[in-house]
Structure 1
Amino acid sequence: MSTSKTLTFSSLAIQKTLKSPSPPFHHITSFSSPFLHFPFLPQRSTSALHGHKPPGASFSTNLAFDSSIDSQEDTVAQILSKPDRIERLMKMQRLKEPGQEDGVTGAGACARRWFPYLDLFRSGEIEVSSKEIIDVLDPYIMEARKERIQRAVSNRTYSLCLVVEGLTDFGNVSAAFRSADALGVQSVHVISCDSSKRYRDNRHVSMGSEKWLDIELWDSPAECFTALNKRGYRIATTCLGPNSVSVYELDWSQPTAIVVGNENMGISDEAIRLSDLHCSIPMRGMIDSFNVSVASGILMHHAVCDRTSRLGRHGDLAPEESQILLAEFYLRHRESTIGILHEYAKRKGHNNVHSFNFGHL
């Protein structure tokens, strides 16, 4: 696990218009894939969905697709202030932090830049690979949603990450997260010494882009920057000063963590002192700063444009990394997908693998 205190994953809002042609249902009658087969207690039949009667199965369960789980409105404040909420959102296993004791290695052990995930999902004692996850879940995610997920993964990078320090307005936090997701920046870090006090009055910012991002929480700039340096990032704080360089003069093809600060006080002295470089957005008017969420969007957008100009594209995941992140996104698609995978792992553990089939998630 990361040396960060807590870890969660976040994401951009999915269009509500992408819905199954048939009405939503709570209990699936049959579950099939190239790997296993078992039925669910019926509420509507699979034959009605697929035009045929599914083959027999060996056991029954009343695993429900509870839409209330997916529609539950967690706020950003709740997610960032409650470790148990954060930890339960983790899907694929994480790579050990650089500098920790040796452990299992995987796609994350990439010398060119950091990638956080192992090709491993654990269900009890059973291990499931990203390929298995994709094979099991792919047939049951709507084509439009799959295409959107695949497009997002192909444009993701861990070479650029966003760090927000001490923000008190969750409107700004949420806007920065949305910009990160929209621009393909997968990793976001939040530094706060007292999140319960900072965030307690911001209870109406609902989950959106947070679902698809990796969000890590830190108690101090020193803790955050130390971990990011070990992962190979240079730390670029946004502030005005004699040593500050224009964002347009930087080479953003290098792994970089962009740090933005508090709405009123800006970047802390500690963060400025511990950073590798200082940068700023040239201002042409009477004021000398942007709103923090606007500044975050401008910085990330320019970094993406610069990376595209230098490298030919922004997304830079290796094929095996893309497969792992695709599996991670499939698992985040709905809470119910975890239940499906646990059932698959149970069957795998009993060495009794068959076919299964049910409608779109």
Structure 2
Amino acid sequence: MEKEIRFLESLLSEKRLNRIKQVINNKIENITVVLDNLLDSHNTSAIIRTAEGLGLKDIYIIEKDYEFEINKAVTKYSHKWVELHRYKDFTPCVKDLKEKGYKIFVANVGEKSVKLTDIEITPENKYAFVVGNEHDGISDEMLKYADCEFTIPMYGFTESFNVSVACAIILSYTIYKYRNALNKPSDLSENEKQKIYFDFLKKAVKNSDVLLKSFKKRENKS
């Protein structure tokens, strides 16, 4: 992979390479967001843009009833720089999260709910924050898997936020707390950063697959 990386680097400006490295050095894996069967692809696209801008590495999308279509005018191509995990049902999504060690925090107004600001954010834990459908809220299936239910504190007559606004509040607050507790900008290992760097280089170079294939042929002949 090292030779391929050097080859792709030669096709990009130093300014572009530095920007890619800067973004990767601020990536966060241990906080993620789960979109529970959202109706409006515009909202999902807006959340992706926000999550990428805040440094998230992964986003989980459940499309049980509503298929998500990327709105590039809304994402501004931010979807290229995050890993989208897409599922047709709740069970495989939750299974993947649990296997990766995430605790599931569900945004829901109920008797069991705590305030977002009362959730302890520590570097030792992994947090998956779930937001629900714009009309129906969190699904019953997802509630069954919740380790914690929470609400965003509100102080006006308005009873709820738009789902994309809610995600922005949740992620900006928790990522700020997490980075402070972590005392560094990223929780990725150097090996993970290298893998993402190679992936981002391929995305940054036009027709990279074709160019890499040609490069490998030349290398094999030499």
Give me the TM-score of the superposition, normalised by structure 2.
0.91
- Contact 2:46/2:75 (8 A) holds in 1: no
- Contact 1:168/1:199 (8 A) holds in 2: no
Q: How does 1:212-251 map to 2 (within 5 A)?
A: 212-251=81-120
How far has the Cα of 1:251 moved from its partner?
2.6
- Contact 1:166/1:191 (8 A) holds in 2: yes
| Greater mean alpha carbon deviation, residues 182-191 or residues 316-325 | 316-325
**Among 173, 184, 189, the residue aligned to 2:44:** 173
List gaps (5 residues or longer) in structure 2.
none
Does residue 274 of structure 1 match 2:145? yes
- 1:106 matched to which residue of 2? none
Q: How does 1:243-322 map to 2 (within 5 A)?
A: 243-252=112-121, 253=123, 254-322=125-193
CA 164–276 in structure 1, closer or farther in 2 if over 3 Å, else same: same
CA 305–265 in structure 1, closer or farther in 2 if over 3 Å, else same: same
- Contact 1:238/1:267 (8 A) holds in 2: yes
List gaps (5 residues or longer) in structure 1.
1-128, 353-361
SS where residue 140 of structure 1 aligns?
Answer: coil
Aligned-partner Cα distance in 2 for 1:258–1:314: 20
1:329 alignment partner AA: F
SS where residue 33 of structure 2 aligns?
Answer: strand
How far has the Cα of 1:289 moved from its partner?
1.4
How far has the Cα of 1:144 moved from its partner?
2.0
**Among 54, 59, 63, the residue aligned to 1:192:** 63
- Contact 2:49/2:76 (8 A) holds in 1: no
- 2:14 matched to which residue of 1? 143
- Contact 1:232/1:255 (8 A) holds in 2: yes
Q: Between Structure 1 and Structure 2, which shows a larger proportion of helix residues?
A: 2
SS where residue 157 of structure 1 aligns?
Answer: coil
- Contact 1:234/1:256 (8 A) holds in 2: yes
- Contact 1:222/1:274 (8 A) holds in 2: no
Q: How does 1:61-140 map to 2 (within 5 A)?
A: 129=1, 131-140=2-11
Aligned-partner Cα distance in 2 for 1:260–1:280: 10
Aligned-partner Cα distance in 2 for 1:203–1:189: 18
Percent of counterpart pairs with the same letter? Answer: 30
Root mean square deviation of aligned Cα: 2.0
Aligned-partner Cα distance in 2 for 1:321–1:203: 27
CA 169–195 in structure 1, closer or farther in 2 if over 3 Å, else same: closer
How far has the Cα of 1:328 moved from its partner?
0.9
- 1:164 matched to which residue of 2? 35
How far has the Cα of 1:207 moved from its partner?
5.8
For the pair shown, the structure with the greater C-alpha radius of gyration is 1
How far has the Cα of 1:133 moved from its partner?
2.7
What do the CA deviations read for 1:273-301 (whole angstroms, capped 9, x no partner)? 11211111111111221110001111110
How far has the Cα of 1:139 moved from its partner?
2.0
| Greater mean alpha carbon deviation, residues 179-188 or residues 131-140 | 131-140
Aligned-partner Cα distance in 1 for 2:61–2:4: 30
Aligned length: 220
What do the CA deviations read for 1:240-259 (whole angstroms, capped 9, x no partner)? 11111111122333211111
- Contact 1:164/1:261 (8 A) holds in 2: yes
**Among 24, 39, 51, the residue aligned to 1:153:** 24
SS where residue 210 of structure 1 aligns?
Answer: helix
Aligned-partner Cα distance in 2 for 1:345–1:300: 41
How far has the Cα of 1:140 moved from its partner?
1.7
- Contact 1:307/1:313 (8 A) holds in 2: no
SS where residue 176 of structure 1 aligns?
Answer: helix
How far has the Cα of 1:308 moved from its partner?
1.8
CA 133–224 in structure 1, closer or farther in 2 if over 3 Å, else same: same
SS where residue 156 of structure 2 aligns?
Answer: coil
- Contact 1:225/1:275 (8 A) holds in 2: no
